[in-house]
Structure 1
Amino acid sequence: MVVSAAAPLTVMAGVAPIAIVLGGIGAPAAYLLAGITLTVFAVGFTTMSRHVRGGGAFYAYIAQGLGTPAGIGAALLAVVAYNGMGIGLYGLLGSAGADAALALWGVDVPWPPLALAGLLLVWYGGHRSIDFGAKVLGVLLVAETGILVLLAGGVLLRGGADGLSAASLAPGNVLVPGTAAVLAFAFIAFTGFESTVIYRREARDPERTIPRATCIAVCFLAVFYAFVVWAVIQAFGDARVVAAAADDPGGLFFSAITTYVGAWAAHLMHVFIVTSVIASLLAFHNAVNRYCLALAEEGVLPARLAAVHPRYGSPYVAGAAQTALGLVVVLAFALAGADPYTQLLLWVNTPGGIGVMVLQLLASIAVPCYFRRVPHTEGVVRTLVAPVTAAVLLTAATGLVVSRIDAFTGASAAVNTVLVAVVPGVFLLGVLLALRLRRGRPEVYTRFAVEPAPTAPGPHPGTER
């Protein structure tokens, strides 16, 4: 079961240096703040999963709590947001792949062919089914996590550049304007943890495993991300790390691991960051496919997207459609001569990241609304206190991110306005679609996100011999 679509090395070596530039040595705290917020969110979210068992996760919960129009708006927003998060990563793949080719073989490779090759590979992984994707992801995640642990261990053993310091957690270094921009990177780092619910139908004992897997995933990632960023800060020293990150953000982690572990580890990291991005792309690809599958089964998206491969069991038509969209976007940026990192990655990821935060906010609001209407035996902390607290925290975090969107994207005011407007625009489009369905196809509107009928117990998928 995939618990996070944002693979650790992608989050760290690919994005964390910019977080250090913006937030200074207090950047690790942003990951902890995001983790605390999402842990509180997970309490109500996983409680809802025991009562709403559809495969749509966010949109199903929002529909049950806030009504069908909001649910369909959230459904379209989820598809757009996850597509944005995934497609934007092809920019990082092209950039990291080009850097790796230059560092390892001295070959200057343009980024578009690398991004297109990754697009084909991800399509094949999704086409071959979730089992194939999970096996590949498992191997890649172990390797990339291991190289980050090796880097942090080397820094700790040698005491960093100036001795180990806890200044990153000092309020004066955390409560700075740049922290608002770093929160965007921090929340994006956790994107995909709700896949523990998306894959509910493929889980054993979901009543017990889903809440546990979700909370463990969020808590582990928060501590791990903060620890690794802190270790890299120690590698350069509190006084010098921001300048080092600003001078060469793409090389920050490679420089640190070369100094504290060895050049051979830097070579491995170049390989692993490419595989890490591919792992993230596979996870996003599978998540989007399953959202499209669920929506096609609901009748909101074309029925053809619900087609499942007769041999592999994968939603292969949805995968092909997603790949075609990625191809169009990558080619458009390539033909425009855009930078793969600062434009394709950051610009396309921006509405995706904000969209996911808005979905989490709406889901938090939906939890107490739902439990006010249905009989249940859940406690008030799970059904009211935790989700309301999460809604307040997510509102504040989203507002901070939007207010500092210029620092996150580096784009003009006009571009930033468009990127932010995508989120409410898509949600409103979904609401209008819902109203149209209510008039023209009331049967689709009525059954949207309705709980599936109980089925007779049987063997778990994949346990047959």
Structure 2
Amino acid sequence: MASHPAPTPAPGPHASAPTLRPGALGTADIAFFVVSAAAPLTVMAGVAPLALLIGGTGAPAAYLAAGLTLGLFAVGFTTMSRHVRGAGGFYAFITQGLGRPAGFGAALLALLGYLGMNIGVYGLLSSATHDTLLSLTGLDVPWPLIALTGLVVIWYGGYRSIDFGAKLLGVLLLAETGILVLLAGAVLLKGGAHGLSLDAFSPAHLTDRGMPGVLAMAFAAFTGFESTVIYRREARDPDRTVPRATYLAVAFLGLFYAFVVWTVIQAFGDREVVAAAAEDPGGLFFTAISGYVGPWAADTMHVLIVTSLLASLLAFHNATNRYGLALAEEGVLPAALGRVHPRHRSPYVAGLAQTVLGAVVVLAFAAAGADPYTQLLLWVNTPGMLALVTLQLLAALAVPLYFRRLTHRAGVLRTVLAPVTATVLLAAALWLIVTHTDLITGASPAVNTMLILLVPTVFLIGTGYALRARATRPGVYAAFATEHAPPAAPAPTS
């Protein structure tokens, strides 16, 4: 029997172009990307001692409060994700709720946020790897060489398929959380320094003098959790997978952060832990695990901080690539950034562009004689973190405005009460972060002001671009972030 050739598709710019691999990621895979981006081990060993120093033993309550706030945000966010199915993440939500000019501004703000969070961490990777190599092997490797090597490693991870990245992140995440669980288990088994106490979770600690600064640090520790929606096109059953991964990530981070900080308090004692953090904040966790587990565990923790940072960088690299891909498809960024690798099905051109930009920033800071931690990390990371928290606030505000115009079956709790409450709490969180930026950066008032103002400046540039596109590129403007789910069925009438 003669066979007939398959019909040739009509010619078009995307008729045979490869796409991202659908159905590649399950709930656990997406959660690995999100939790890895937060870098739990680095947050605990590197930032939690400062939180204890500023806020005292109430620090665990601050992580729980931040987790509860972002859990409320996730209620409206994931409900809206079932209706707005574009690949644009934050900016797609904000466009549908607040309008296209705000959406264009959010798109540029998302690029600032993800690029800032990604590129800045190469400074921390350089510093941590340098210190670990020097301590364990005696090698004194220049930090720019470490950063450039890291850029190549992360580029390759993003160049490969998304399921390769998910498997790699799963292994690295289990390792970094495992060492923290080992520390916590040893402290609990030995009963801590003076017995176990739950005083750290008392709500009264939320009114302690240093708590605003600790809350600012706690919210910053969750940065990147909302990137679950960016992987929608690669998720299996995204209407279920994306919400589950979002809730799983928020719940895990909030409970895990609070639990680990509480166990470290028990390791030293409620009264002694603040003095120990003041004496050696960078060594607090290493001292604890060395005393309760053994010196070998402290050496292992040093190595795992480096792998934790690599996992965080790969997670943010992949998220940033997909934002670049989406904006190229929208016609906002050059079309070349929208190319997908035919075999790996990864946005490889966007990944290469991001890597080149990262190398330029690293080399510029190195040429200026900057410190990789206090300048490359903090000066680049801070506006990135502020941009992402601002986007969370705008997305929370967009949810009730979107559902007010849509016939739907979602309840008032998910479409009004939770997102409105989250909007108020996120506005308070953003205010805390802005007013306590000096605690995060340690920089001068002039530098802090410049870093803070970068966020509204980028947003305004984006809205200005939108107004220009409306006049000069009406097709691009009209089609921006318009991919929706089918309209919900009308509510039954009585």
Normalising by structure 2, we get a TM-score of 0.89
What corresponds to 1:338 in structure 2? 370
What corresponds to 1:148 in structure 2? 180
| Contact 2:224–2:388 (8 Å) recurs in 1 | no
* Whole-angstrom distance in 2 between the partners of 1:96 and 1:48: 39
Q: How does 1:433-448 map to 2 (within 5 A)?
A: 433-448=465-480
Deviation of residue 207 (structure 1)? Answer: 1.5
The answer to which of 312-321 and 18-27 deviates more is 18-27
What corresponds to 1:254 in structure 2? 286
Selected match of 2:231 from 199, 212, 216: 199
* Whole-angstrom distance in 2 between the partners of 1:424 and 1:108: 40
* Whole-angstrom distance in 2 between the partners of 1:208 and 1:265: 39
Deviation of residue 319 (structure 1)? Answer: 0.8
Q: Which amino acid letter does the alignment assign opposite residue 397 of structure 1?
A: A
Residue 341 of structure 2 corresponds to residue 279 of structure 1: no
The answer to which of 55-64 and 161-170 deviates more is 161-170
* Whole-angstrom distance in 2 between the partners of 1:230 and 1:346: 26
| Contact 2:192–2:267 (8 Å) recurs in 1 | yes
Deviation of residue 91 (structure 1)? Answer: 1.4
What corresponds to 1:15 in structure 2? 47
What corresponds to 2:328 in structure 1? 296
The answer to which of 297-306 and 245-254 deviates more is 245-254
What corresponds to 1:238 in structure 2? 270
* Whole-angstrom distance in 1 between the partners of 2:384 and 2:429: 15
Q: Which amino acid letter does the alignment assign opposite residue 201 of structure 2?
A: L
Unaligned runs of 5+ in 2: 1-29, 487-494
| Contact 2:216–2:436 (8 Å) recurs in 1 | no
| Contact 1:168–1:174 (8 Å) recurs in 2 | no
SS of equivalent to 1:51: coil
What corresponds to 2:154 in structure 1? 122
Q: Which amino acid letter does the alignment assign opposite residue 382 of structure 1?
A: R
What corresponds to 1:3 in structure 2? 34
Deviation of residue 395 (structure 1)? Answer: 0.6
* Whole-angstrom distance in 2 between the partners of 1:241 and 1:114: 34
| Contact 2:61–2:205 (8 Å) recurs in 1 | no
Deviation of residue 421 (structure 1)? Answer: 0.4
Selected match of 2:359 from 305, 327, 335: 327
Residue deviations 1:177-224, cap 9 Å, x none?
422222232222222222221111111111222222211221121010
Q: Which amino acid letter does the alignment assign opposite residue 369 of structure 1?
A: L
What corresponds to 1:365 in structure 2? 397
Q: Which amino acid letter does the alignment assign opposite residue 182 of structure 2?
A: L
Residue 74 of structure 2 corresponds to residue 79 of structure 1: no
Residue 143 of structure 2 corresponds to residue 104 of structure 1: no
| Contact 1:44–1:364 (8 Å) recurs in 2 | yes
Residue 296 of structure 2 corresponds to residue 264 of structure 1: yes
Deviation of residue 171 (structure 1)? Answer: 4.3
* Whole-angstrom distance in 2 between the partners of 1:188 and 1:326: 22
| Contact 2:120–2:379 (8 Å) recurs in 1 | yes
Residue deviations 1:369-389, cap 9 Å, x none?
111111111111111111000
| Contact 1:14–1:273 (8 Å) recurs in 2 | no
* Whole-angstrom distance in 1 between the partners of 2:392 and 2:257: 21
What corresponds to 1:89 in structure 2? 121
Selected match of 1:28 from 50, 60, 72: 60
Deviation of residue 172 (structure 1)? Answer: 4.7
| Contact 2:61–2:202 (8 Å) recurs in 1 | no
CA RMSD of aligned residues (A): 1.5
Residue 205 of structure 2 corresponds to residue 173 of structure 1: yes
| Contact 2:83–2:485 (8 Å) recurs in 1 | no
* Whole-angstrom distance in 1 between the partners of 2:426 and 2:207: 18
Q: Would the alpha carbon gap of residues 211 and 28 (structure 1) be closer, same or farther in structure 2, given more than 3 Å must change? A: same
Q: Would the alpha carbon gap of residues 323 and 48 (structure 1) be closer, same or farther in structure 2, given more than 3 Å must change? A: same
Q: How does 1:362-441 map to 2 (within 5 A)?
A: 362-441=394-473
Deviation of residue 339 (structure 1)? Answer: 2.4
Deviation of residue 82 (structure 1)? Answer: 0.9
* Whole-angstrom distance in 1 between the partners of 2:202 and 2:359: 45
The answer to which of 328-337 and 429-438 deviates more is 328-337
Selected match of 1:188 from 216, 220, 229: 220
* Whole-angstrom distance in 1 between the partners of 2:219 and 2:188: 27
Deviation of residue 242 (structure 1)? Answer: 2.4
Q: Would the alpha carbon gap of residues 378 and 173 (structure 1) be closer, same or farther in structure 2, given more than 3 Å must change? A: closer
Deviation of residue 453 (structure 1)? Answer: 8.0
Q: How does 1:341-352 map to 2 (within 5 A)?
A: 341-352=373-384
Deviation of residue 320 (structure 1)? Answer: 1.1
Larger Rg: 2
SS of equivalent to 1:199: helix
Deviation of residue 21 (structure 1)? Answer: 2.2
* Whole-angstrom distance in 2 between the partners of 1:409 and 1:378: 42
Residue 256 of structure 2 corresponds to residue 224 of structure 1: yes
Identical aligned residues as a percent? 70
Selected match of 2:81 from 49, 56, 59: 49
* Whole-angstrom distance in 2 between the partners of 1:412 and 1:157: 44
Q: Would the alpha carbon gap of residues 182 and 325 (structure 1) be closer, same or farther in structure 2, given more than 3 Å must change? A: farther
* Whole-angstrom distance in 1 between the partners of 2:398 and 2:205: 35
| Contact 1:40–1:389 (8 Å) recurs in 2 | yes
Normalising by structure 1, we get a TM-score of 0.94
Deviation of residue 452 (structure 1)? Answer: 5.4
Deviation >6 Å, runs of 4+: none
Residue deviations 1:308-341, cap 9 Å, x none?
1122111111111111111122222223332222
* Whole-angstrom distance in 2 between the partners of 1:180 and 1:82: 25
* Whole-angstrom distance in 1 between the partners of 2:378 and 2:265: 23
| Matched length | 454
Deviation of residue 170 (structure 1)? Answer: 3.1
* Whole-angstrom distance in 2 between the partners of 1:225 and 1:143: 16
What corresponds to 1:318 in structure 2? 350
What corresponds to 1:135 in structure 2? 167
Deviation of residue 443 (structure 1)? Answer: 0.1
* Whole-angstrom distance in 2 between the partners of 1:453 and 1:153: 46
Q: Would the alpha carbon gap of residues 423 and 223 (structure 1) be closer, same or farther in structure 2, given more than 3 Å must change? A: same
The answer to which of 86-95 and 12-21 deviates more is 12-21
